[in-house]
Structures are given as structure tokens and as C-alpha cells.
Amino acid sequence: MFLVTGANGQLGTALQSLLKDKAVYIDREELDLTDETAVKNYLAANPFDFIINCAAYTAVDRAEADEENAHKVNALAPLYLAKYGKRIIHISTDYVFDGTSCKPYNEDDTTHPVSVYGKTKREGEQNVLENADTAIVIRTAWLYSPHGGNFVKTMRKLGAEKESLNVVFDQVGTPTNAYDLAEAIVKALPQIKSGEKEIYHFTDEGICSWYDFAREIMEQSKLRCKVSPIESKDYPTPAHRPHYSVLNKAKIKQRFNLEIPHWKEGLVKCLKQF
């Protein structure tokens, strides 16, 4: 039996559709993951074969002014889950990198987060690897699904309301359908070896800018909204974002024998679910 935390989020919801009754699903209402005693007692009373930790503080801009809570959720909660659950898949982010590279990031490239969100997520990675007996950290990027708040839903909403939109073109990465990541996790689970401690990268295939992504969303959604490219400096945000955060997926594909769809295919699948 597995435990999925953050079960009502984008990835957690996708995992529910795949794992069904093979897992227990909890969100913050069922268990406060930032309360060490509560986590210890819960996992002592309910031992699991594996924990899949999808819980995270993902409000990137809000985290700049709310570092304490971001740290609790992104760094301390993974520590407690790893310490008392012992076997864990932990979801992390491309934001652990600064985005100054010009080639896709490998798992062993030096991390250098430039936001509170990125810093707390990196600490969460370290806590998991240091405290679990078996630990798989999966970094992903630009996650979206029909559930929760995300770029696809925002663009579709604005595209239906407005005649034109400006979207940054100088931030490059890879959109990732949460269901594609969920499928990869489910396929990897039975292949994980006891005592294995590794970091892997997973996104859909291909690369694009947020501008390219917005254009594709409008086109596939048959919305007439015009999308124009702007630079990040023309759309200032509290948190600094990496300009290039493409992740190299060769390691996870080889290790778990995965075939990963292109991001445009992932978008087609997502839009059919709306």
C-alpha cells in the first residue's frame, strides 16, 4: 500500500486515477505534514510500502514574503516523511537551478536556486536523501492538468475573455502534463531497489518558451486571442525565475525504460479532459 500526500493537487489527483485503491490519499485536512509528532504517530500507526510526496508550497511569488511557511512545507515536511516513512518518492522542481545554463540540466549539475521557493525545495531534496532509507527525488517543471491552478487553465480563461495577451518569451523550459509524470511514477515504483538513493529529471519532451506554450494553448483551444512576446523585465514578479530550465531526462528514461511524449501531445491529452 502506498501513501500519496498532497493528494488533491495536480499530480496527486493524477495519481489517484492510476493507483486507485492501491494507495491512501491525504491532504492537509487529514494530516499536517509540518507537525513532526503528528507525522511520526501517523506513520507508526499506518506503515506504507512507499510514500509519494506531492505536497508542496508552490506559490512562487508569495513564498518571497512567506519564507517561514514555504520552508515548513517544502523542507521540513519532506524531512519528517523521510525520517519516519523511510521509503519515499519526493517531487522537486527545476527551480533548484539558476537558469544560466545553455544546455539541459543533468541531475548532478550544481544547484543554485534564485528564489525562496527554489531554496526551500532544494533543502527538501537534501533532507529526503539524508534521512530516508530509500529515496527517489524527481525534479519536474511547468506542471499542468485540468485540476488546480496552472498556466493552461489561466491562458484558456484569459484567452476567452481578452483579445490580446503579452507573455514572456525569454524563459525557456518544458511544459509537463501531470498525468504523464504520474504514469512514469507508477511505472517506476516496482523497479525501485531497496536502499536506492537517486535524483531523476522528468518533464515531457521538447522545449519552448512560455510565449510558445501560450500560442499553442490558444491554437489547440480554438481561441482567437492574440499572444505577443515580451521580455521578463517587462513583466516583473517578486520571485526571480530561471531563464533556461530544460531538464535532461536520459537517466530516468534509461533506468525505468520510459517513453515520454512530446509536450504538444501532453497538451492535446489535457485539453480533451476539460
Query: Is the separation of the CB atoms in 93 and 139 below 8 Å?
Result: yes
Grid cell digits, residue 165: 495577451
φ, ψ of residue 242 to 5 degrees: the values are: -65, 135
Report the SS3 class of residue 160.
helix
The crossing angle, in degrees rounded to 10, of helices 178-188 and 10-19 is: 50
User: How much helix, strand and coil, in percent to the nearest 5, is found in the chain?
Assistant: 45, 20, 35
Q: Residue 98 has what pLDDT? A: 96
The catalytic residue among 80, 117, 144, 244 is: 117
Instruction: Identify the sign of the CA torsion 180, 182, 183, 187.
Output: positive
Per-residue pLDDT reduced to its tens digit, 21-30 = 999 999 999 9
Q: How far apart are the C-alpha atoms of 87 and 51, rounded to whole Å?
A: 6
Q: Residue 149 has what pLDDT? A: 92
Statement: residue 129 has pLDDT above 90: yes
Statement: residue 274 has pLDDT above 90: no
Q: How far apart are the C-alpha atoms of 244 and 249, rounded to whole Å?
A: 15
**Averaged pLDDT, 55-67:** 96
Mark whether 105 is an active-site residue.
no
Q: How far apart are the C-alpha atoms of 111 and 264, rounded to whole Å?
A: 28
Which residues fall within 8 angstroms of residue 132, CB to CB, at 6 or more apart?
Answer: 82, 83, 85, 86, 87, 88, 197
Per-residue pLDDT reduced to its tens digit, 3-41 = 999 999 999 999 999 999 999 999 999 999 999 999 999
CA–CA distances in Å: residue 171 to residues 17, 102, 235: 32, 12, 12
Q: Residue 92 has what pLDDT? A: 98
Mean pLDDT score of the chain: 97
Query: Is the separation of the CB atoms in 64 and 239 below 8 Å?
Result: yes
**Strands, E, within 55-191: which ranges?**
87-93, 134-140, 143-144, 164-168, 172-173, 176-177
Per-residue pLDDT reduced to its tens digit, 214-238 = 999 999 999 999 999 999 999 899 9
